[in-house]
Structure 1
């Protein structure tokens, strides 16, 4: 997703707590590249606002009256990129939000204002962003499924990934950056990027978050 140069990224802030909304808005207003288009206090208001305002990014809480975040994220994700911003860190909720289309997941208390701004910009560009606890959930799923469940007897992945691509994918699920993956595997960042491009193509995804969700979803 690209935006015209000089045009701020439109944001919708969804949270039932007006104090949280004000705090988040205060952080976003400090970035000239972002513009808060509106707010919503529950899932139903969020859907109406998203259709009306067409935000590039929606910051979405989960626990809200009328309709919670998980119940509306599937529709919201059709109108804008969704970055979950909540105090809920239950693994099932994290998995559910990612499966329903969230491009990022941040847990209150685990990020700074600067990290929030970076996450918004990354999500606006079509990339993913996971807080440590969300990344840990993804990694735990990988661990519970086990590498042997991802590979056929001939040693090839169920997605056709090579051994090295699986190594890169495993580290990606732990939330590591390209630079960190390169250090772990003694590769160049360019090589890691090339591996990820191949992985995205084989998994039929376009972002890091989508890759994590696809990779950590067990076969039916």
Structure 2
């Protein structure tokens, strides 16, 4: 099966070089080129390429600003000269499946990266892989801290059930119906929850529990 590719870069020389590499393999078909983010999004919507090679620094609209929208139509492999960890994290967060830095890969690696991304997998340059690993560690740390914070409130399992339904916007009557409790029991549970969370209103309870 041929992999349709959209090449996006504001530099025509870079676009030509990327097309030249892809044209060496019959498994790839360059469907179109784009010189900025706006053109890239239009082409992605129209052509639905399997993979889009997306630069970041471009006029009119840069890669990061359109990546999430483009990723709704195609798998995105970022191909840029920028190795800023903040940018890498932003690109991965917005849905990029791969990230390669110019000068850190050769033609065979590019072809392999495109194949991997086309197959639903990922491909990261060493620097991007390090950033991705840090993102995973940070996320795990935040989740662990959130769990510890919730555990520290000392809520019972039933109080957590009631509070979680409160966070969904349910009224006391609806919570009672869902959990097969009386409204008086729900109100008692909420009074205990408010005391443990040290809040006075339903809104404050939701904010404290979900923050």
Please indicate the TM-score interval, normalised by the length of the shorter structure. Answer: 0.5 to 0.7
Relative contact order (C-alpha < 8 Å, sep 6+): which is higher?
Answer: 1
- When the two chains are superposed, the root-mean-square deviation of aligned CA atoms in Å is 2.3
Q: 1:74 aligns with which of 43, 65, 68?
A: 68
8 Å contact kept, 2:89–2:135:
no
Q: Which has the higher helix share?
A: 2
Shift of residue 151, structure 1, vs aligned partner? 4.9
Q: CA deviation at 1:44?
A: 0.4
Residues 1:35 and 2:46 are matched in the alignment: no
Report the 3-state secondary structure (helix = DSSP H, G, I; strand = E; otherwise coil) of the residue aligned with 2:19. Answer: helix
CA contact 2:116–2:122 (8 Å) conserved in 1 = yes
Taking a change above 3 Å as real, the CA distance of residues 141 and 9 of structure 1, as seen in their structure-2 partners, is closer
Shift of 1:37: 0.3
Query: What runs of 5+ residues in structure 1 fail to find an aligned partner?
Result: 1-6, 155-218
Tell me what 1:17 maps to.
Answer: 11
Q: Which residue of 2 aligns with 1:94?
A: 88
**What secondary structure does 2:20 align onto?**
helix
Matches within 5 A, 1:99-138: 99-138=93-132
TM superposition outliers: structure 1 runs of 4+ over 6 Å: none
CA change 1:142–1:124 in 2 (3 A) is: closer
Higher gyration radius (CA): 2
Per the alignment, residue 152 of structure 2 pairs with none
- Cα distance in structure 2, aligned partners of 1:47 and 1:100: 14
Q: 1:1-220 alignment to 2 at 5 Å?
A: 7-141=1-135, 145=138, 151=144
Give how far 1:137 is off. 1.5
In the alignment, the residues of structure 2 paired with residue 67 and residue 113 of structure 1 have an alpha-carbon distance, to the nearest angstrom, of 27
